[in-house]
Structure 1
Amino acid sequence: MPFVVPRSADAPPADWASYAMTTLGVLPLVWRRRAPVTVLVTILAVGGAYKLTIDGPGQPLPYAALIAFYTVALLCAARVRLAVGGLTVLAVALSVGWNTGTARELLFTLFVSGAAYALGRLQHTRQAYTAAVEDRAEQLERANRIEAEQAAARERARIAREMHDILSHAVSIMIVQAEAGPVAVRRAPERAEAAFDAIAETGRDAMAQLRTMLGVLRTDHASPRRPPPGIEELADLLDRVRGSGLEVAYERTGAVRALPAALEATVHRVVQEALTNVVKHAGASRVAVTLEYGPHALGVTVTDDGRGPARAVPAAAGGGQGRGPGHGPGGNGHGHGLIGIRERAAAHGGTARSGPAPGGRGFELRVSLVTSPPEVGN
């Protein structure tokens, strides 16, 4: 304003040298974030030179110096801030003594400088808080993304297990029935019709289960979905296996009771996978399925009288010996069956063991699933 508003006649005029020196005292602010201390010292030096050489119309407050001091408080370390603060107080005292030498001007200048310093520290705190909040939000977003990816991976693995169990079982039964069909047509036509009916029924059941499972992948949730198969549906599963010519025994021991739907679905899939591998690979004539209800666990045992272990392989969760690839209830040609059974058992805090059947003939799969945590002290 002293360069625009007319001044009194006894005041020094506003000439081009005053404009140039005033501008020179402001330009260093461009670099204040890179070198705040250097900029502050430069501005104070230019201000002193202005007073000594030109003594033109000055500003009522050293705005550029206050902004530079604010930047020092905002960006510099504590040791630097203390040193610069002491030098600033000294510079203020010298400037006031040179100008009016009054306590009023000294207190006012110190107050304004202190306010600039306080604003710098408050802005530093605000920026640190904002950075912390943004960092926390970024970490939370990253954690949510990782959790979503892990959930998607678990869901893909679950769907893969379900599709493997459904398709492997259905196709195995259908192949066995189809291979027996031509023989039955020549020797016992009435059995051929039953074989073809079994193929159709197995296909329809597999399609229904696949529709139910694939419905999870659709965005349209309007269509109803039937619940996953449980222990009660084992009877139908065993009947289809009997239709392939395999003798199947089924027994439940212990305190039979209703279990959570997820646990019953696991039992169904474990038995289904075990029977599928018996039909495909074991060359057995008889298989026994036993469910043993304990106080806190459910045992599932599938035993056949087939070829037995071809060679020792790593067992499923919990130890034991497995059958070689492509043999028995413990595995299939690629080992996915045994892996799937192990994963299902582990999901319910259980174990899966496989090895030779009692007596050395055939193969046995034993799965233990936790139904309820044991009481403390038991």
Structure 2
Amino acid sequence: MERITRAQARIIALGQRWHGGRFGRIDPIALDIALTVFSALVSAWAVVYDNKGWPWWVYLLAVSNSLALPWRRSHPGSVYLLTGLPALVLSYVAHSATPQVSISAVLAMYSLADRGRDWQRWPLLVVTVAANIIGTHSPNGMLFSLIMSIGSFVFGALVRDWRALARSEAERAHQLGLQTASEAARAVAEERARIAREMHDILAHAVSLMVIQAEAGPLMVHRDPERAIRTFDTIADSGRDAMVQLRRVLGVLKEEGAGPELAPQPRLAELPAVVERVRQSGIQVELELAAPERPVPADVEAAAYRIVQEALTNVVKHSGADRAVIRVAQVARTLEIEVSDNGNGAAAGERTGRGGSADGWSGGRGLLGIRERAAACGGSATAGPGPAGRGFLVSAELPLGGAVR
């Protein structure tokens, strides 16, 4: 199979050099007219060389078998008949004046094999072989005629196969190009969506905390200066943390050939720091982070971190809650995540875009990002009212097998 493939590649390369080189730039019509003139001259010269004083109509008969050659590409079957019949008559009435090598017969047979239809090619080949056997006067002449006829047909058939192979390869290359372009566009879209999720999660969380704490800071300056100082310190810490995470994303974008797997990913061990910053905004947050029983893949760990971060961002921005509970634990081969609060629940979601539909996903970019992150790991996520309709609950299940490719 490999040898066949290599042979096909050589044939294609040869054809490309033929069509792209000096011969490929020749006008086909001019070439066929030149071949017609050359074939007619050879036929006329054969009559003259026979030196038997043939009448004018023999010369006309010898030349007429070449006159149809300019149409050999568009009407190969008809041209073959218009070429073969005068040659057959000439061979019968003036056999010695027939050219040893009939240029018109070779070109007609070649064109028939190359461009003719199957119902034309094979019957005419059989008729030609029979005519060569019957119409020659010696075994040597018969053998020579058969070699010329069958050889021309075989060469034309090879060129026909090459044309079909070249068309097939061109179509395959075209389809491959379309597929590659489609995959590239899909990869760009997926990468843009990934970057959008990262930027949203980083900025939305940090800015939400900073805004809430900055609004509360001036009220505490006179009442509790020390707490106000801690609040502003927390704002600065949130800003610095956001800058660090932004540098992670932007650093990968600037690095040539870097992929998302090269970016330092957040870990579950960093969740206590996130929780502490949320606590300093005035919300009581309880974190239940069980020690993993088995190693957690980096992509699953990063997705879990971002899911918790985005759920807390929604608690801070939309819930009106003063208490939230986070539970992250391994159950069998799944990492389960739950973030619940005691806020306004679905009613607030309908007003703020927190997830007003029945499945909780008609809201803003953040909740959709949670579902996308879970799906990227082969898991699932839900969002909606908490138990008994109180508060809001975001839950996710991430299989520990890693991301789906």
In which range does the TM-score fall when normalised by the shorter chain? 0.7 to 0.9
Match of 1:133 among 149, 158, 169: 169
What residue is the counterpart of 1:75 in the other structure?
115
- The answer to whether the aligner puts 1:35 opposite 2:78 as a matched pair is no
In structure 2, what residue type is equivalent to 1:368?
A: E
Match of 2:365 among 336, 346, 349: 336
Q: How far off is 1:245 after superposition?
A: 1.1
What residue is the counterpart of 1:192 in the other structure?
228
For structure 2, which runs of at least 5 residues remain unmatched after alignment?
1-41
TM-score, scaled relative to structure 1: 0.82
Q: How far off is 1:59 after superposition?
A: 2.9
CA spacing shift, 1:364–1:129, aligned 2, 3 Å: same
Contact 1:325 1:333 in 2 (8 A): no
Q: How far off is 1:300 after superposition?
A: 0.4
In structure 1, what residue type is equivalent to 2:377?
A: H
SS in 2 for 1:61: coil
Match of 2:329 among 292, 310, 317: 292
Q: Distance in 2 between matches of 1:215 and 1:22?
A: 81
What residue is the counterpart of 2:380 in the other structure?
351
Contact 1:28 1:42 in 2 (8 A): yes
What residue is the counterpart of 2:302 in the other structure?
265
Q: Distance in 2 between matches of 1:338 and 1:51?
A: 90
CA spacing shift, 1:331–1:176, aligned 2, 3 Å: farther
CA deviations over 1:15-57 (Å, ceiling 9, x no partner): 9x95x87665434222212110111111224435767899996
Contact 1:289 1:301 in 2 (8 A): yes
Match of 2:149 among 101, 110, 113: 113
Q: Distance in 2 between matches of 1:137 and 1:340?
A: 37
Q: Distance in 2 between matches of 1:127 and 1:156?
A: 43
- The answer to whether the aligner puts 1:370 opposite 2:399 as a matched pair is yes
What residue is the counterpart of 1:156 in the other structure?
192
Q: Distance in 2 between matches of 1:278 and 1:287?
A: 8
Q: Distance in 1 between matches of 2:257 and 2:111?
A: 58
In structure 1, what residue type is equivalent to 2:329?
A: E
Q: Distance in 2 between matches of 1:344 and 1:32?
A: 65
Q: How far off is 1:275 after superposition?
A: 0.4
SS in 2 for 1:133: helix
SS in 1 for 2:387: coil
In structure 1, what residue type is equivalent to 2:353?
A: G
Q: Pick which of 353-362 and 112-121 moved more.
A: 353-362
CA spacing shift, 1:188–1:257, aligned 2, 3 Å: farther
Q: Distance in 1 between matches of 2:347 and 2:368?
A: 18
Q: How far off is 1:219 after superposition?
A: 4.6
- The answer to whether the aligner puts 1:274 opposite 2:311 as a matched pair is yes
More helix by share: 2
What residue is the counterpart of 1:314 in the other structure?
none
Contact 1:326 1:334 in 2 (8 A): yes
Contact 2:44 2:62 in 1 (8 A): no
CA spacing shift, 1:94–1:4, aligned 2, 3 Å: closer
Q: Pick which of 136-145 and 209-218 moved more.
A: 136-145
Q: How far off is 1:289 after superposition?
A: 0.6
Q: How far off is 1:220 after superposition?
A: 4.2
What residue is the counterpart of 1:89 in the other structure?
129
Q: How far off is 1:335 after superposition?
A: 2.2
In structure 1, what residue type is equivalent to 2:389?
A: G
The aligned runs of 1:7-26 (5 Å cut-off) are 10-12=51-53, 18=59, 24-26=64-66
CA spacing shift, 1:14–1:282, aligned 2, 3 Å: farther
Q: Distance in 2 between matches of 1:145 and 1:339?
A: 27
What residue is the counterpart of 2:339 in the other structure?
302
What residue is the counterpart of 1:361 in the other structure?
390
CA spacing shift, 1:226–1:45, aligned 2, 3 Å: closer
What residue is the counterpart of 1:327 in the other structure?
354
SS in 2 for 1:233: helix
Identity of aligned residues (%): 40
Q: How far off is 1:332 after superposition?
A: 9.1
Q: Pick which of 359-368 and 253-262 moved more.
A: 253-262
Q: Pick which of 298-307 and 56-65 moved more.
A: 56-65
CA RMSD of aligned residues (A): 3.4
In structure 1, what residue type is equivalent to 2:372?
A: E
